Amino acid sequence: MGKYRNNWFENIILTLASVLAVWSAVQLATTFFKIMVDYR
């Protein structure tokens, strides 16, 4: 049970990390495009 709970906790951490990474990438991309539009 302890092993299963650890795996479950690990999955939540990995999912949170993935969501955070994707969100950061989207934020960076939108900021970059906003800067590009402003320079035009």
Q: What is the pTM of this model?
A: 0.65
User: What was the pLDDT predicted at 1?
Assistant: 55
User: What was the pLDDT predicted at 23?
Assistant: 98
Q: Which two tokens stand for residue 40?
A: 């035009």
What domain count does the chain have? 1
Cα–Cα distance, 37 to 1 (Å, whole number): 54
Count helices and strands in the chain by DSSP H and E runs = 1, 0
User: What was the pLDDT predicted at 6?
Assistant: 74
Q: How does pLDDT run across 1-40, given as a tens digit for each residue? A: 566 667 889 999 999 999 999 999 999 999 999 999 988 7
Structural domain range at position 40? 1-40
User: What was the pLDDT predicted at 39?
Assistant: 80
